[in-house]
Structure 1
Amino acid sequence: MSLTIASPDFQPRCFALVPCAGVGERAGAGGPKQYHPVAGRAMVAHTLASLRAVPRIDATLVVLSPEDDQFERHVPDWQGDGAWVARVGGASRAHSVANGLNELLERGAQPHDWVLVHDAARCLISVDAVNRLIDACLPDEVGGILALPLADTLKASAQDADGLTRAVETIDRSAKWAAQTPQMFRVGLLRPALMLGLSAPELAASITDEASAIEGLGHQPLLVRGDYENFKVTWPGDFALAERLLRV
């Protein structure tokens, strides 16, 4: 049996995937938080504009809920080459990403291509940070994620007899990082990792991001230093902070 040898000039492509099928219950935004206005635009519009500004990303796929009827109204300029949408969102982030990977394969992505999964709610992601992640991951066998070493003291909590939350233990923060996105892995590695994790309820609960699925296969993703500004808009007060930073 003959083997096909890849050309020395061969370069895998990079795709971005933005799961955008959530309802944003914690944000208190009165609807899906990705469409909440921040600095004059829907939050997800800022996110997509940053990803679109990265030349090495060939296309970005936005994964929406099948019932979503708002995206085109809030992001009217998301069209043209490389601006993809698929209403294949699932019951969880992991399901939405897995369905999005299937969509990428249907649109021509190959198992050796890279996918950068990014939260719609991280609307302050910078082009420099994405390029830093790509530079670090391209020569790596596994891939990696943007992350920040923890600076704050960590506390374990419990409720007392009066229902008040109290600190019961200080947790060692050394060698602990806060995961961010994008998280960059090969399509052919991430897809089976997610499918395995989603195959059993006891495993599915542990998949809180793409890296956790990769770790479930025994791999160790790279940790690439991210930016403090690349926080995930989650709570009501986060919108005001994102607004101030985007208007600087």
Structure 2
Amino acid sequence: MSVAALIVAAGRGSRAGEGTPKQYRDLRGHSVLARTLTGFLSHPGIDRTLVVIHPDDRDLYEAGIAALTPLPSALLPCVYGGHTRQDSVRNGLEALATSSPDIILVHDAARPFVSPKLIDRAITAALRSDAAVPGTPVTDTIKVIGSRSEVVSTPDRASLRAVQTPQAFHFPLLLDAHRKAAAAGLHDFTDDGALAEWAGLPVQVFEGENGNIKLTHPADFLEAERRLKGSLMTYITKLGTGFDVHAFGDGDHIWLGGIKVPHDRGVIAHSDGDVILHALTDALLGALADGDIGTHFPPSDPQWRGASSDRFLAHAISLVQKRGGIVDHLDATLLCEKPRLGPHREAMRQRIAEIAGLRIDQVSLKATTTEKLGFTGRSEGIAAQAAATIRLPEGNA
């Protein structure tokens, strides 16, 4: 049986932050992609390996695999991907169709810790079934929610698995499934196992590995660096708090948590007056002991007039990262009589997570009134308080 590996490296990796696509970023002297490729090129069960890249990344690709020089003959010339991950995988499969391997393993370039044992299990699983994906047990309780964020059901964790790559298939069956999906005008499958399910193939789940992490967020890269360093770095936990307030003025909306919220008043502010993002920014700066938002973005500076507050939060996040730190959690409480937070909470959590490069479960938002007391109780203004928990390497704390 011939086995080929298809490495998907055509994505942009926007959640990992601005800059070079994550698959080409450096991990202790080698690119993420080079480390991923090494796992497959060194495995005796893999006959050949093909990488699918973005058309704009040819120079990055050549530089990224320079550590593999001389290039192994098992590494085929790369091919260009498409508009979606599904299109990119199909392009890779079509390139392999001329030599048509028996088994194909599809793997994300951003999973550089794939182990030989996991590859062994993937190949074995493909020999036993038409399609197979690695999965790990889910430890958190999962909720299925409706359109209004209400809980619809709570699945039994025992029947749930978090799916990884490499995913293993009989090559002709996966190629046929991809061609059928494209012919049907479907291009948005983000997982080859799901596409195989759509095509009617029985998909089995084999044992994955917790260490087979996908580098998605900035914190994942820090974790990968520590793992490759091979030593335990001591981190100091820091907690910072923030508070912001703005008076109401004329207007028909306010900005809260990075979201434009319709309201019968506006706020009086130098920037866009987003009290939630301002409080979170100050909380992060407090955890760093690095002044406050006014220190970094003086109200006297005209360049910040009307500025979008997501720039302030992103700046504070970047300061944490520059010191080798990790943001563990952001928590904010809105204080006002109205508008109500509930209808916008999840959109705000998602937006804050995007700005900060965090998972949504690392962002908490709450709201309270002041029982008609004070300026917020009289609807004269709006306020927010926040807390940020970060970890800094000992010596940078």
1:143-180 Cα offsets, whole Å, 9 max, x none, are 311111211111346898xxxxx774662133111110
Distance 1:141 1:135, change over 3 A: closer
* Structure 1 residue identity aligned to 2:84: S
- 1:73 match: 63
1:217 pairs with 183, 199, 202, which one?
A: 199
* Structure 1 residue identity aligned to 2:86: A
Q: Please state if 1:99 is matched with 2:97.
A: no
* Structure 2 residue identity aligned to 1:191: L
Larger relative contact order (C-alpha < 8 A, sep ≥ 6)? Answer: 1
Q: Identity rate of aligned residues, in percent?
A: 36
| Distance in 2 separating the partners of 1:29 and 1:52 | 30
TM-score w.r.t. the length of structure 1 is: 0.84
* Structure 2 residue identity aligned to 1:54: H
Distance 1:178 1:104, change over 3 A: same
CA shift at 1:216, angstroms?
Answer: 1.0
Q: Report the number of matched residues.
A: 226
2:77 pairs with 53, 74, 85, which one?
A: 85
| Distance in 1 separating the partners of 2:13 and 2:87 | 17
Question: 5 Å matches for 1:1-40?
Answer: 12-40=1-29
CA shift at 1:114, angstroms?
Answer: 0.6
2:120 pairs with 120, 131, 137, which one?
A: 131
CA shift at 1:84, angstroms?
Answer: 1.5
* Structure 2 residue identity aligned to 1:83: L
Distance 1:219 1:197, change over 3 A: same
- 2:314 match: none
| Distance in 1 separating the partners of 2:28 and 2:153 | 38
| Distance in 2 separating the partners of 1:153 and 1:180 | 19
| Distance in 2 separating the partners of 1:81 and 1:174 | 43
CA shift at 1:35, angstroms?
Answer: 0.7
Aligned with 1:174: secondary structure?
A: helix
Distance 1:37 1:159, change over 3 A: farther
Question: 5 Å matches for 1:223-238?
Answer: 223-238=205-220
| Distance in 1 separating the partners of 2:130 and 2:79 | 29
| Distance in 2 separating the partners of 1:180 and 1:91 | 22
| Distance in 1 separating the partners of 2:97 and 2:85 | 18
Distance 1:211 1:158, change over 3 A: closer
TM-score w.r.t. the length of structure 2 is: 0.54
Aligned with 2:77: secondary structure?
A: strand
Residue pair 1:137, 1:222 contacting (<8 A) in 2 also:
no
- 1:204 match: 187
Distance 1:171 1:40, change over 3 A: farther
Which structure 2 residue ranges, 5 or more long, are not aligned?
231-397
| Distance in 1 separating the partners of 2:135 and 2:198 | 19
- More displaced stretch, 77-86 vs 16-25: 77-86
* Structure 1 residue identity aligned to 2:141: T
* Structure 2 residue identity aligned to 1:81: S
Q: Kindly name which structure, 1 or 2, has the bigger radius of gyration based on alpha carbons.
A: 2
CA shift at 1:94, angstroms?
Answer: 0.8
CA RMSD of aligned residues (A): 2.0
CA shift at 1:213, angstroms?
Answer: 1.2
Residue pair 1:180, 1:226 contacting (<8 A) in 2 also:
yes
Q: Which has the higher helix share?
A: 2
